């Protein structure tokens, strides 16, 4: 278990290449996701991407080690981008072996101060065309996805993308 | 009963295909008495690919269930089955394949059909994927490995892994020694199979991130047939 995923992000990128900047067809967006009661998040529903603002969409899973690293990066950046909406979503389907409370707990340990949501049918994952985790998408104010990235996305890459949009 | 019905309609479909010319696979058309789902939209025949594909029977092999110290013979399974091929040290493709099966398992539990489906992820790394390791991996991936419907399968040796997974299931795996890592990894085919209760492949999902909703819907059709 230990060491799993230490190089996962870079390995993923090495194998699959950088997806880079590629505006996508966003017909399937926005997607409504159920949000959890957790740090920075309250139980309810949210629209992804957030209407009217630039949105950083972070797709993660509790089993995905590089996803922790991705959240660490996002956490460090978020205070600089107060006008940007952040949302993290997992496609793990809550069940007895992984309850909503388990996901909230995981979020409280690893997550940021923003809404965390559930995508149990992988609808958002499919809409974004995400092929691996972590996956970061950035949508502009009109909700059009301007950037998609499989594997760990670095601070500078994200900063470049965000600075161009806000 | 049902098979006979399917068989009857095959003639009609075959005739239509004959007239239309190049629809589907030619020959017998797009029906097969052994499967419930129609032939998938694809540009090849099942016999063209190295893995058992739509309408083909999976090999009736016996493999050990390391976490329970027993063997399973694939032909003995009486429910529709989802099979995939992985190794637990994998950091890229396999966790996604396993997580997809896990999500389907959760869907089965949440929707009352947990006993109507079997999940059989098969490791091609028997050297490292011991019973203990697979138990930890199940926890990490939030799999309900205590449920009867989930069994990790492990060929007894490297040679057996090659014979069964590579030669019979057509899933190629090649050991690699990545420079930035202190352990060996594999490159391998990403394959998830939906097999019906009679052991025939209904769908072969050749994707690194198979669509969970598609699998759930296909499985539903197969379960309810």
Do B93 and B26 belong together in one domain? no
Domain annotation covers residue B108: yes
What does DSSP say about strands B70-73 and A135-139: parallel, antiparallel, or unpaired? unpaired
Residue predicted with more confidence, A16 or B175: B175
Spell B84-113 as b/e; 16+ CB within 10 A means b.
Answer: bbbbbbbbbbbbbbbbbbbbbbbbbbeeeb
DSSP three-state, residue A14: helix
pLDDT digits (tens, 9 = 90+) for A83-126: 999 999 999 999 999 999 999 999 999 999 999 999 998 899 98
Q: Do B91 and A11 touch (CB under 8 A)?
A: yes
Nearest to B86 by CA among B189, B184, B182: B189
Two tokens, residue B25? 């696979």
CATH of the domain at B99: 3.40.30.10
Average pLDDT over residues B34-51: 94
Q: What is the pLDDT of residue B25?
A: 43
| Closest Cβ opposite residue B99 in set A4, A16, A61 | A61
Q: List chain A residues with CB under 8 Å of B208.
A: 131-132
Q: List chain A residues with CB under 8 Å of B92.
A: 8, 11-12, 15-16, 132
Q: How far apart are CA B89 and CA B183, in angstroms?
A: 9
Domain that holds residue B25: 1-33
Q: How far apart are CA B53 and CA B57, in angstroms?
A: 8
Do B110 and B17 belong together in one domain? no
As for how many domains chain A has, the answer is 1
List the 3-62 stretch of A: residues with Cβ below 8 A of B.
Answer: 4-5, 7-8, 10-12, 15-16, 61-62
Domain annotation covers residue B114: yes
Q: What is the pLDDT of residue B209?
A: 84
Q: What is the pLDDT of residue A6?
A: 29
| Closest Cβ opposite residue A132 in set B96, B109, B142 | B96
- Tokens 């690699």: give the residue: B176
As for how many domains chain B has, the answer is 2
Average pLDDT, chain A: 86
Q: Which of B87, B88, B93, B96 is the mutation pick for testing A, counting most A CBs within 10 A?
A: B96
CATH of the domain at A51: 3.40.30.10
pLDDT digits (tens, 9 = 90+) for B115-150: 999 999 999 999 999 999 999 999 999 999 999 999
Give the residue numbers in B contacting A (CB under 8 Å), as ranges.
Answer: 89, 91-92, 95-96, 99, 102-103, 105-107, 109-110, 136-137, 140-144, 178, 180-181, 208-209, 211-213
The pLDDT of residue B10 is above 50: no
Q: What is the pLDDT of residue B126?
A: 97
Where does the pLDDT of residue A26 fall: very low under 50, low under 70, confident under 90, or very high at 90 and above? low
Q: What is the pLDDT of residue B69?
A: 84
Q: Do A7 and B109 touch (CB under 8 A)?
A: no
Q: How far apart are CA A63 and CA A92, in angstroms?
A: 9
On whether the CB atoms of residues B118 and A34 are closer than 8 A, the answer is no
Of all helices (H) and strands (E), which one includes residue A156?
helix A155-165
Domain that holds residue A133: 27-165
Do B107 and B172 belong together in one domain? yes
Where does the pLDDT of residue B101 fall: very low under 50, low under 70, confident under 90, or very high at 90 and above? very high
Q: What is the pLDDT of residue B30?
A: 61
The pLDDT of residue B44 is above 60: yes
Where does the pLDDT of residue B15 fall: very low under 50, low under 70, confident under 90, or very high at 90 and above? very low
Domain annotation covers residue A129: yes
Q: What is the pLDDT of residue B1?
A: 39
Q: List chain A residues with CB under 8 Å of B86.
A: none
Q: What is the pLDDT of residue B130?
A: 96
Question: For residue A134, is the peptide bond before it cis, meaning its omega torsion is within 30 degrees of 0?
Answer: yes
Q: How far apart are CA B56 and CA A55, in angstroms?
A: 46
The ipTM, to two decimals, is 0.70
On whether the CB atoms of residues A34 and A116 are closer than 8 A, the answer is no
Domain annotation covers residue B40: no
Please give the distance of CA A132 from its chain centroid, rounded to a whole number. 11
Domain annotation covers residue A17: no
Q: Do B142 and A98 touch (CB under 8 A)?
A: yes
Average pLDDT over residues B73-86: 97
* Nearest residue in chain A measured CA to CA from B216: A121
Residue predicted with more confidence, A101 or B13: A101
Nearest to A139 by CA among A59, A37, A38, A36: A59
Do B78 and B122 belong together in one domain? yes
Q: List chain A residues with CB under 8 Å of B209.
A: 125, 130-132
């Amino acid at each position: 278990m230990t060491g799993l995923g230490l190089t996962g992000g870079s390995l993923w990128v090495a194998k699959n290449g950088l997806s880079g900047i590629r505006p996508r067809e966003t017909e399937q967006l926005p997607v409504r996701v159920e949000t959890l009661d957790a740090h920075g998040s309250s139980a309810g529903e949210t629209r992804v991407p957030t209407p009217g603002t630039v949105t950083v969409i972070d797709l993660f899973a509790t089993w995905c080690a590089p996803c922790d690293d991705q959240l660490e990066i996002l956490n460090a950046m978020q205070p600089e981008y107060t006008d940007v909406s952040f949302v993290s979503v997992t496609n793990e389907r809550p069940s007895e072996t992984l309850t909503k409370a388990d996901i909230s707990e995981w979020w409280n340990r690893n997550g940021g101060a923003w809404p965390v949501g559930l995508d149990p049918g992988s609808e958002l994952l499919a809409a974004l065309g995400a092929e691996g985790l972590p996956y970061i998408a950035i949508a502009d104010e009109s909700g059009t996805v301007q950037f998609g990235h499989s594997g760990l996305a670095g601070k500078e890459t994200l900063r470049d993308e965000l600075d161009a949009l806000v | 009963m049902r098979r006979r019905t399917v068989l009857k309609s095959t003639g009609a479909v075959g005739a239509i295909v004959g007239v239309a010319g190049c629809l589907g696979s030619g020959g017998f058309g797009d029906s097969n008495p052994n499967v419930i789902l129609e032939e998938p939209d694809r540009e090849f025949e099942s016999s063209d690919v190295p893995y058992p594909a739509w309408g083909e029977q999976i090999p009736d092999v016996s493999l050990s269930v390391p976490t329970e110290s027993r063997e399973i013979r694939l032909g003995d399974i009486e429910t529709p089955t989802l099979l995939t091929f992985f190794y637990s040290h994998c950091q890229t493709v396999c966790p996604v394949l396993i997580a997809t099966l896990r999500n389907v398992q959760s869907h089965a539990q949440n929707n009352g059909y947990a006993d109507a489906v079997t999940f059989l992820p098969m490791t091609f790394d028997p050297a490292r994927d011991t019973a203990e390791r697979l138990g930890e991996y199940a926890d990490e991936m939030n799999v309900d490995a205590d449920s009867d419907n989930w069994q990790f399968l492990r060929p007894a040796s490297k040679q057996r892994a090659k014979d069964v997974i590579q030669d019979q299931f057509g899933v190629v795996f090649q050991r690699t020694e990545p420079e930035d890592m202190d352990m060996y990894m594999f490159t391998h085919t990403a394959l998830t199979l939906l097999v019906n209760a009679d052991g025939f492949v209904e769908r072969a999902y050749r994707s690194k991130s198979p669509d969970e909703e598609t699998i759930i819907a296909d499985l539903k059709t197969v379960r309810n047939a």
